[in-house]
Amino acid sequence: LIMACTLAGIAVSPSSTLTPLEILLLAVCVLVASSTSGAFNQWFERDIDSIMDRTKKRPFVTQELQPSNLLNVWLVVISCIALFFTYRVANIEASIYLFAGIFTYGIIYTVWLKRKTWMNIVIGGLAGSFAVLIGSAATGNTFSTAPLILSIILFLWTPPHFWALAICFKDDYEKASVPMLPVVTSISITSHAIFWHTFLLVLLSFALIFYGMHWVYLIFALTGGLYFLYTSVQLLRKQDKSWAKKTFFASIIHLGLLLL
């Protein structure tokens, strides 16, 4: 997903001097770096993962991978290599955004926020926004309108995606004492939050048509957006886990269509 967001950031930028090989190398760097932060997340959360049914089969929980500080050293080394090659392939700005994404997900979200506040996923969602900015920075168009709009769309997309999942696994999060929004408030409040985030991001997704996107994009944005909005409305009305699950998958479909 993070790699796809970076490629989308390149695609919506007004111009690019990157060669296909450079784009491929940049995509690999982002994939590697995001994988290291994901691995650290699973290492750090192995205690709560063992409590939750959804995550109890992850490799650090099952001991398929042995947790060790040496592993974290290697993750840091690999991340630094990815940052260096991002700088060489693109520029220092893209490398800074990549670091910001790693730090946001690995430290701010995983270590500082996830177990302390329901805002965890709201702030953690910046990692997706940084992924888009990596791509636009690599083309020299960081502050162009289209990449900025797409980065905001990613920021708005992340909370309803994970809040819908949190409704489905509300009992899991309660057992693990993770303060996701439906745990600390209610399914009703969470459903309203999901709807308004969805409404805003769907509305904003149409704005990209005014910044060089093809009419095919409008069809995809309209199809995925209306379906995502429909499921969020049904979740708001019925407030049950079955519609939360449908909303979760609708969010994936919507983002997938936007990034095609």
pLDDT of residue 66 exceeding 90 = no
Residues 157 and 53 in one domain: no
Q: 152 lies in which domain range?
A: 144-260
Q: In terms of pTM, does the model score above 0.75? A: yes
Residues 194 and 240 in one domain: yes
CA distance 63 to 7: 35
- What rounded mean pLDDT belongs to the chain? 95
Residues 136 and 151 in one domain: no
pLDDT in tens, 161-220: 999 999 999 999 999 999 999 999 999 999 999 999 999 999 999 999 988 788 899 999
> What single letter denotes the amino acid at residue 240?
D
Q: Work out how many domains the chain is built from and give that number.
A: 2
CA distance 128 to 7: 12
Residues 134 and 149 in one domain: no
Using alpha carbons only, what angle is made at residue 235 by residues 186 and 259, rounded to the nearest 5 degrees?
Answer: 110
CA distance 247 to 64: 33
pLDDT in tens, 67-108: 888 999 999 999 999 999 999 999 999 999 999 999 999 999
